[in-house]
Amino acid sequence: MDLYEHQGKDLFARHGIPLVEREVAESPAEARAAAERMGGRVAVKAQVQTGGRGKGGGIALVASPEEAEAEAERILGEGFKGTPVTRLLIERLVDIADEFYAAMTLDRSVQRYVAMVSAEGGMDIEEVARTRPEALRRAAIDPVLGLKGFQIRYLVGHLPPEAREGTAGVLARMFELLRAADATLVEINPLVLLAGGEVVALDSKVTVDDNALYRQPELAGLRSSFPVDPTQARANEKGLQYVKLDGEVGIVGNGAGLVMSTLDVVSQAGGRPANFLDVGGGASADLMATSLEVVLSDPAVRSVLVNIFGGITRGDLVAQGIVEALGRVDAQVPIVVRLDGTNAEQGREILERAGHPRIVPAATMLDAARKAVELAHAHAGGEA
């Protein structure tokens, strides 16, 4: 779960990471009032989960409350890169002496956290690593030990002397936050040295581990602040892993790897997958029926491929679910079904007995992919 900047900054504040004066505004009038309280010179920042706000018009630096109001109206009206904007962060403008970058995240390749500090702020970190590797320092953090003093001293050692102590404090607090909030990423870009000598976070990017939300009730509560597609919401509610894609062959399978592989064979057969949907292990007939409903609710879908290899999942229950779904929804497109593994034989019999005109049996995964793609194309042609 990626937090908005203002939500991340609330976490920063709680963990003692220095920030500049800030207020959330949801209307041009609120933006103006906030700017007035801050003396007029403020930044008006779109709250979105997309990057590139600075260059893309999502951040406006203004000199008066009137300008703040006008820019707020523009951003709230236009949105940012196609995403509607409902909230702005208004921040007092500060005199910046120098800009840096600081981040902590998980490094899968070494199975540890990694802390990074760059002397170049405001830049894409991958670009810094490529073009100015000497400006970037990294330290791997053993989660058993935590972030140690010698690592902090190394990480800040290439910054200007007047910024080191402040940055060291920020790093220690970032790590506390990372652990306390079950974050998988805490990034500050830029981290700035003010003319007065203080080191403050001008931006925040925080990603929270979805698996840990059960023990982060407050953060879990923020979920409702993110825009969710209704189909996605329905799938999530039932515990289904659903990802909308832009093709025409709907996919239902069990197990993430098998579903990914199904998307691949559909692509190889010349089709484009409309979605990723994993019903998970041990799917019941009801869950199977819901899965089909979710996939069929996508108007772009021209055929559906159900690919099940039963381990814990039973083929007979899957078949029952398909028949049940066809009783609940009026399927306008063919459903190609490939069943193997546990109770697959019984499942195939159930489908055959049901004799539903939309059900198309397939013997193998590749055969199923070919049929689903052919039918999708035929169906699209028929409608044109």
Q: Which residues bind another protein (CB under 8 A)?
A: 106, 108-109, 111-113, 126, 142-144, 179, 182, 184, 209-212, 214-215, 241, 243, 245, 253-261, 263-268, 273, 276, 278, 281, 309-312, 340-342, 364-366
Is the omega angle on the peptide bond into residue 84 within 30 degrees of 0, that is, cis?
A: no
- Minimum Å gap between C-beta 19 and another protein is 25
- Of 107 and 286, CB closest to another protein: 107
- Of 282 and 327, CB closest to another protein: 282
- Of 55 and 108, CB closest to another protein: 108
- Minimum Å gap between C-beta 165 and another protein is 28
Contact 303, 380 (CB under 8 A): no
- Minimum Å gap between C-beta 323 and another protein is 22
Strand 136-141 to 199-201 pairing: unpaired
- Of 35 and 266, CB closest to another protein: 266
Strand order in the sheet with 335-341: 241-244, 275-278, 249-253, 303-310, 335-341, 359-361
- Of 109 and 224, CB closest to another protein: 109
Amino acid identity, position 251: I
Contact 306, 274 (CB under 8 A): no
Is 187 a known active-site residue? yes
- Of 84 and 311, CB closest to another protein: 311
**Rounded to 5°, angle at Cα 4 from 155 and 185:** 35
Category of 277 on φ-ψ map: left (φ > 0), alpha (ψ -120 to 50) or beta: beta
- Minimum Å gap between C-beta 108 and another protein is 4
Is 101 a known active-site residue? yes
CA 213/CA 211 separation, integer angstroms: 6
Q: Which of 202, 26, 40, 64 is nearest to 121 (CA)?
A: 202
- Minimum Å gap between C-beta 116 and another protein is 15
CA 304/CA 296 separation, integer angstroms: 8
Q: Token digits for 129?
A: 């690593």
The residue annotated as part of the active site, out of 23, 69, 71, 101, is 101
- Minimum Å gap between C-beta 145 and another protein is 8
**Rounded to 5°, angle at Cα 6 from 4 and 77:** 75
The residue annotated as part of the active site, out of 99, 187, 242, 248, is 187
- Catalytic residue positions, numbered: 101, 187
